[in-house]
């Protein structure tokens, strides 16, 4: 369905056929037809025939892709998706990905979906992929390995940790297959971007479900704002700032109160020195909280501090994406917080606690450890990201 949606959005079927031919698929036929699903039109892709030899192992599939005359980005994206499938299945079965035999890695349908989607994205010149919330059915479904719960174990394993939002959907139906999950988990970010919409493609599945249209939509467009500097620049993280004056509390109690706010769900807490009534020195405690969590935190401040009132201000944030990655630095392993903005890594900083541990282990001053590890992390992550081409199209 993902491939059909991209074809319906304007990708060339010829480009997809050429990419699949480069992967030595024999006697494969791809045909499209317009159908309706719950009264809405969509493009249905039918795959007939096709065979390939292989053992269903990751090394064999990656070697075949490396030898195929494909555009570099198609080859790299497809290899990453197949690697994700093998890694997820390896975790499920407790077997190293490189030693796992998987029929899925040699299945014609899987190769068509993975290579076909990557080829269609390349034909459309798509640099960034974004994904909205995904439907998650319940119940179970019969398969080659017996009955499996829904969503399928491999699907959940692939989506875990990706920030994908799963929404309840009619049961006893596999709404997201493991192959689709692998494509989205590997290639997409799970949010809806600001974009100028140019085309919409609708890919139709085989089933016609009266409860909801069996369609997946691909939106094709450019970043909103007319230029790269405006892409993703939105105050769309709704937060609330709480403030309260503390003029008769010791600094130790203020510090403990700030810690309690963080434990209770505050996103950030800071304390500013201030002059209170009658010239008394005091503090203003600020807490940034997600919308909906302000009442509970204000109640905590009223209960656990001497304050008589808490002020509230709307404080929408523009937020850069962040992720924490493991890094083998020259001084030892650390966690590195990477900052991502407009699809690029723009900064990488080690966790201070890990730097403190390395300082103790190596006998070096903390500031020297921080400087050394920060420089190595930025070289490993930020410089590599800067070498990638700028985003031109989004889907």
Q: How far apart are CA 155 and CA 182, in angstroms?
A: 8
* Both structure tokens of 130: 């974004």
What is the band of 387 on the pLDDT scale with cuts at 50, 70, 90?
low
Residue 244, phi then psi, degrees to nearest 5: -150, 145
Sheet with 26-37, edge to edge strand ranges:
26-37, 40-51, 195-204, 215-223
Closest listed residue to residue 163, CA positions, set 323, 351, 349: 323
Q: How far apart are CA 152 and CA 137, in angstroms?
A: 10
pLDDT score, position 176:
93
Closest listed residue to residue 262, CA positions, set 292, 288, 294, 299: 288
More confident residue, 236 or 201: 201
pLDDT score, position 390:
41
Q: How far apart are CA 95 and CA 201, in angstroms?
A: 39
Q: What is the pLDDT of residues 367-377, one digit of tens each?
A: 999 999 999 99
What is the band of 385 on the pLDDT scale with cuts at 50, 70, 90?
low
pLDDT score, position 229:
47
Once rounded to an integer, what is the mean pLDDT over residues 121-135?
Answer: 91
Q: What is the pLDDT of residues 270-301, one digit of tens each?
A: 999 999 988 899 999 999 998 778 888 999 99
Q: What is the pLDDT of residues 244-263, one digit of tens each?
A: 999 989 999 999 999 999 98
More confident residue, 234 or 15: 15
pLDDT score, position 253:
93
Q: Which domains does the chain have, with CATH numbers?
A: 2-230 (no CATH), 239-314 (3.30.70.1380), 321-386 (3.10.20.300)
């Amino acid at each position: 369905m993902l491939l059909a949606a991209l074809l319906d959005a304007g990708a060339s079927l010829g480009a997809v056929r050429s990419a699949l031919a480069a992967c030595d698929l024999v006697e494969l036929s791809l045909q499209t037809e317009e159908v309706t699903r719950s009264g809405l039109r969509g493009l249905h892709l039918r795959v007939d025939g096709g065979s390939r030899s292989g053992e269903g192992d990751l090394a064999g599939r990656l070697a075949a892709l490396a030898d195929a005359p494909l555009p570099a980005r198609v080859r790299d994206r497809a290899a990453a998706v197949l690697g994700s499938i093998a890694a997820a299945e390896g975790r499920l079965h407790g077997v190293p990905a490189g030693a796992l035999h998987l029929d899925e890695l040699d299945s014609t349908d899987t190769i068509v979906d993975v290579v076909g989607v990557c080829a269609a994205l390349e034909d459309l010149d798509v640099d960034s992929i974004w994904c909205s919330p995904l439907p998650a059915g319940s119940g179970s479904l019969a398969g080659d390995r017996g009955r499996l719960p829904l969503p399928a174990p491999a699907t959940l394993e692939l989506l875990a940790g990706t920030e994908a939002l799963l929404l309840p959907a009619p049961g006893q139906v596999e709404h997201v297959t493991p192959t689709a999950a692998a494509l989205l988990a590997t290639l997409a970010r799970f949010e809806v971007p600001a974009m100028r919409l140019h085309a919409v493609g609708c890919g139709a599945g085989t089933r016609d479900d009266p409860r909801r249209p069996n369609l997946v939509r691909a939106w094709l467009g450019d970043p909103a704002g007319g230029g790269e500097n405006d892409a993703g620049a939105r105050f769309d993280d709704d937060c609330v700032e709480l403030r309260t004056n503390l003029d008769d509390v010791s600094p130790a109690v203020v510090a403990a109160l700030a810690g309690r706010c963080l434990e209770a769900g505050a996103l950030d807490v800071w304390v500013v020195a201030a002059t209170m009534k009658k010239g008394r020195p005091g503090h203003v405690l600020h807490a940034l909280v997600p919308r909906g969590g302000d009442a509970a935190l204000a109640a905590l401040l009223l209960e656990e501090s001497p304050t008589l009132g808490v002020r509230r201000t709307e404080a929408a944030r523009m937020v850069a994406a962040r992720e924490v990655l493991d890094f083998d630095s020259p001084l030892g392993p650390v966690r590195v917080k990477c900052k991502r903005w407009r699809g690029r890594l723009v900064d990488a900083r080690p966790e201070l606690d890990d730097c403190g541990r390395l300082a103790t282990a190596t006998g070096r001053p903390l500031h020297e450890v921080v400087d050394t590890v920060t420089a190595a992390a930025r070289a490993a992550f930020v410089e590599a990201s800067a070498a990638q081409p700028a985003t031109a199209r989004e889907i």
